[in-house]
Structure 1
Amino acid sequence: DSLLTRCLEKLQPAYQVTFPGQEPIVKKGRICPIDITLAQRASNKKITKLRLSLRNMPVVPC
């Protein structure tokens, strides 16, 4: 258990983003957090707001 803990402490932060039909993108550093907020609009309409930072990621709109 302590060996695993020591090894994990020495690793540098990294993440992988996978898009359908593309090769996975591996980046060094920490991934920016994704902020998900539920908001209510007029006449009981609810919306979901997403705030994320994918500056250098190839995002293709649907």
Structure 2
Amino acid sequence: TTKAIRRWQYGQADKVCRIIALTAHTLEEHKEHCLDAGMDGHLGKPLRLQELSELIDQLANELN
């Protein structure tokens, strides 16, 4: 689960694991639930490669 990954990551100061939810649930409340659980992003199905690319770029830029 996301929480288990985050617990592991907490002990790994030099490692960053980005977690993106991919779900059929596209309502804002579902997105907020994923973010509250510790995920870094949320994408709804059907997956659009442009949206995935933009989210990956955004998350990568946050590391710099």
Bin for the TM-score computed over the shorter chain? under 0.3
- Larger-gyration structure (1/2): 1
**Which has a greater percent of strand?**
1
TM-score normalised by L of structure 2: 0.23
**Which has a greater percent of helix?**
2
